[in-house]
Amino acid sequence: MTIITPDEIKARLDAGETLHLVDVREPHEHAEFNIGGHLIPLGNIQTMMTDEIDELKSEEVVCYCRSGKRSMQACMMLETFGFTNVKNLEGGMLNWQEKFGQ
């Protein structure tokens, strides 16, 4: 797992790059504000190991949550499932909103 900054993600999104973003927050948090990530709450990561996400094992996957703690756990779990390029958004959505607003 590596760390990726909000600035890096925003620049790549602004450039039109398609990223595999995984939001590991709860549905109500995702509904309040999100950056387009696929919602898979942390508690559901293991049960969501379907073809939908399993096919991303060799792709870059960026996990994010509110502060970066749950997404760090998700990154570690994905690595144990064989994902090879997992990144954690530094500071999560709190950091993103501090830098870029809603």
Domain boundaries defined on the chain: 2-100
Catalytic site includes residue 65: yes
Catalytic choice (9, 42, 65, 89): 65
Tens of pLDDT, residue by residue over 19-36, are 999 999 999 999 999 999
Query: For residue 55, what pLDDT is reported?
Result: 86
Q: What is the reported pTM?
A: 0.94
Long-range contacts for 15-20 (Cβ within 8 Å, ≥24 apart)? 19/60, 19/62, 20/56, 20/59, 20/60, 20/61, 20/62
Tens of pLDDT, residue by residue over 40-79, are 999 998 887 666 688 899 999 999 999 999 999 999 999 9
According to CATH, the superfamily of the domain at 2-100 is Rhodanese-like domain (3.40.250.10)
